Structure 1
Amino acid sequence: MTTAQPMRSDDACLAAITDVDRQCFDYLRVHGPASRAGLSANIGISRPTASESARRLQQANLIRETGSCPGQRGRTPQLYDIQGARGHTVSLALDHDWIGLRVCDLSRGVLWERIDRSGTPLTTEQLVAASRTLVAEGHRHASGECLAVTCSVADPVDPRTGRVIDMPNSPFAAGHIDVGSAIFDRAPETLHVDNDVNWAAFAESRIGLMQRQPNFVYVFIGAGIGAAIHVNGALYRGADGLAGEIGHNRLAPGQTLVQRLIELGIASPSDSSIDTDRLISMFDTRPQDATATAVIDAIAAAIANTVITLNPGALVFAGRVFDSPAFAEALRRAVSHALPRPIEMTQTAFGAQAPLLGATLGAAEQAERYLHLRIDPPAG
């Protein structure tokens, strides 16, 4: 869902931005300050073209003069850099026992960040109060226009409305609130809310192991279990945002995966949350018993059914349970055994805060799109 923004006085300057200007901006964002000659040489454009791009980007207040190149003969070249103070982005991640907020400037530099860990599941009221406090504090450290706001929640999100879907017996409090009005005081169309596993997979596709793999499935196992589906370079959310809810896959004899895990004593009957400590201990103890085997078989069946249906090029595993080498290896073996042909399987390197990382990257791209610096459609 894209962000609807008010009209600005610099719309004409932004509308004049060209593809070459976008290349210059991207070069400065990735590599840091450069002269017009440096832009010309590294992007492969003429010096007059580089000069014109620098002029347009300055007029739009997107880059600034930041000094000169020392030790140069003749006329001293002027250096240009991103005008970070042009605006900022805000990204919030809500999990069952932690909340994180990150504020970044236009150059994607972090202005302020905080992670609050509760240690125990938060109620809806606690989640809202803590989130509003974080957001207010974050805005005090920001400068310029708020260019984009993103939020990660541990429940499905309807891609048409941006509203969180309250799933039956969900262990996460976010499903019971309207994120836009309760936390940000913003209309739903002015922020981008998505599921935490989708945001984590987005990070994997942008700066992680899947940058060159357009088709993959990202499987997360923590207090909840779910997957993100990446098809042809974009997230696939389904008609209602429920794509990837593999905990609801039906296994023989008709149970869902979550129901099977409840029966095996790994998930709570009251809220379906998975006891990750017990799950890890089952596989760190030798020899593994029949219950451990049944747990692996159930999870592997749900994953294998998803892989067989979608035919992705790779599987990415994430979640605290994969810190157990024994669990990770047992699941890989079981999934491989259930598939008709091999598939690449790997484990993310981003850790528990991957959803916040993905939301931050999503906010940066959304801000650049808003400023005419990106012309690609929103991810997914």
Structure 2
Amino acid sequence: MTAPKPSLELLRALTDENVLRVLMAHARLTRAEIATRTGISKPTISECVQRLEQARLVVDTGERTTGRGRVGSYYALAPHLGTALVASITPHGVAAEAVDALGRTHGQVRTALQADAGQEAVAEALGAAAVQLGGQTGGPLRLAVVSAADPVDRATGRLVHLPDAPFLVGALDPPAVLAGTVTGPVLVDNDVNWAARAEYEYGCVQGVDDFVYLHLGEGLGCAVVGDGVVRRGHRGLVGEIAHLYTAGPDGQAMPFTEVFAALDLRRASSTAVDVPKLLEILEAPDAGADRVRVALAHAIGGVLSAALSFADPQTVVVGGPWGSRPRLIAALEEHLTRSPRSVPVTAAVLTLPELAGARSRAVEELGSLIVRAAHPATQW
């Protein structure tokens, strides 16, 4: 039986998507250059560009080719197509930026906050950043992608407050905060999941579809990636490891977060890890520091053993302000070599990976919105 031929509308939609995608990878192109990059004939590209101009998705930039031969016009995505908001909420403040479909940044806002600033202050900073960026870009903020240093309910996008969480922003609701300034969807996930996505796309585990990303900073977190996808679980709380039982300094089992209390590595009046103090210990040459490093390796090794049992990763990535230190990585490797299920341990390599991961998703989602706008009735 002969398969049915695709409709003319579907063929046009596919051609339009190819042209829009190539213009998302290049700031400007002539029709001949578009034809070369897409492998589509020049007459078909000319018809497509005309359609996209009429739809106000593509514009003639007014620039012309120089040199011998026929003069060509340069085309680009229309400037009014809007931007995506990318925001990162951390214990130190809110960082936000607007990006277009080519990944270019059109304004940045950074608001410093205290770790105990609270839900209202964080909401105010996030909302104000969105308003400021919306005014700077001259077009709509069509969607938002938010990274938060707290657990996130995957169904609602609200932050989830768990016991002993070092960053107290309660049940902050980013979709509600941004509803008045962002015209489209608001995607929220925790910072460790975004960091894992970034390392998978651009960092130390490119091409590795199954891995665990362990974040060690003021807070403790883990991301599980299986078949190239971050696994979030029923509520979105996969990787919340603070209360996972592991080996304490004296060999007795205790929650992971309590190990740092037992080692006197918490900030005063907080459950947050004292990162400066811990970094000093990791680099110190004395026997006392060695004992702390061994205790940390045993505790972290217990957490990783649980991850290996449940997730069966190909490798483990360790990141965060103190997680990727060479001495700690070496201690973890030594500990895991004695495990029945040893896997390689590697240090994360990206700077601000959570923001990089959120930015990448924002650019991807914005591109898809623009493509769908060309043929809103087509089933993609």
Q: Does the TM-score normalized on the shorter chain lie above 0.5? A: yes
Q: CA deviation at 1:185?
A: 4.3
Distance 1:195 1:301 in 2: 23
CA offsets, 1:250-273, max 9 Å, x none? 225442211223222223595421
Indicate conservation of the 8 Å contact 2:101/2:364, yes or no: no
Counting matched residue pairs gives 359
**Is residue 328 of structure 2 the alignment partner of residue 327 of structure 1?**
yes
**Is residue 75 of structure 2 the alignment partner of residue 80 of structure 1?**
yes
Distance 1:212 1:62 in 2: 34
Distance 2:294 2:184 in 1: 46
Indicate conservation of the 8 Å contact 2:145/2:362, yes or no: yes
Matches within 5 A, 1:278-357: 278-287=277-286, 288-322=289-323, 324-338=325-339, 340-343=341-344, 345-351=345-351, 353-357=352-356
Matches within 5 A, 1:86-235: 86-118=81-113, 121-182=116-177, 184-185=179-180, 190-235=185-230
**Is residue 63 of structure 2 the alignment partner of residue 70 of structure 1?**
no
Secondary structure of residue in 2 paired with 1:338: coil
Change (3 A) 1:136 1:346: same
Counterpart amino acid of 1:334? Answer: H
Secondary structure of residue in 1 paired with 2:280: helix
**Is residue 31 of structure 2 the alignment partner of residue 30 of structure 1?**
no
**Worse-superposed segment, 88-97 or 268-277:** 268-277
Secondary structure of residue in 2 paired with 1:174: coil
Counterpart amino acid of 2:232? Answer: R
Indicate conservation of the 8 Å contact 2:100/2:366, yes or no: no
Unpaired stretches in structure 2, ≥5 consecutive residues: 1-8, 376-380
Q: CA deviation at 1:370?
A: 2.4
Secondary structure of residue in 2 paired with 1:246: coil
Q: How high is the TM-score relative to the length of structure 1?
A: 0.84
RMSD: 2.8
CA offsets, 1:265-292, max 9 Å, x none? 2235954211111211111111333233
Secondary structure of residue in 1 paired with 2:85: strand
Counterpart amino acid of 1:348? Answer: A
Q: CA deviation at 1:183?
A: 5.4
Q: CA deviation at 1:241?
A: 0.8
Indicate conservation of the 8 Å contact 1:88/1:144, yes or no: yes
Counterpart amino acid of 1:350? Answer: L
Distance 1:92 1:234 in 2: 21
Indicate conservation of the 8 Å contact 2:142/2:184, yes or no: no
Larger Rg: 2
Distance 2:180 2:72 in 1: 46
Secondary structure of residue in 2 paired with 1:244: coil
Counterpart amino acid of 1:106? Answer: A
Counterpart amino acid of 2:366? Answer: A
Q: CA deviation at 1:302?
A: 0.4
- Identity of matched residues, %: 25
Unpaired stretches in structure 1, ≥5 consecutive residues: 1-13, 376-380
Secondary structure of residue in 2 paired with 1:230: strand
Change (3 A) 1:294 1:200: same
Indicate conservation of the 8 Å contact 2:108/2:133, yes or no: yes
Q: CA deviation at 1:111?
A: 0.7
Distance 1:225 1:96 in 2: 13
Secondary structure of residue in 1 paired with 2:97: strand
Counterpart amino acid of 2:168? Answer: A
Q: CA deviation at 1:330?
A: 2.2
**Is residue 302 of structure 2 the alignment partner of residue 267 of structure 1?**
no
Distance 1:189 1:84 in 2: 18
Q: CA deviation at 1:96?
A: 0.5
Q: How high is the TM-score relative to the length of structure 2?
A: 0.84
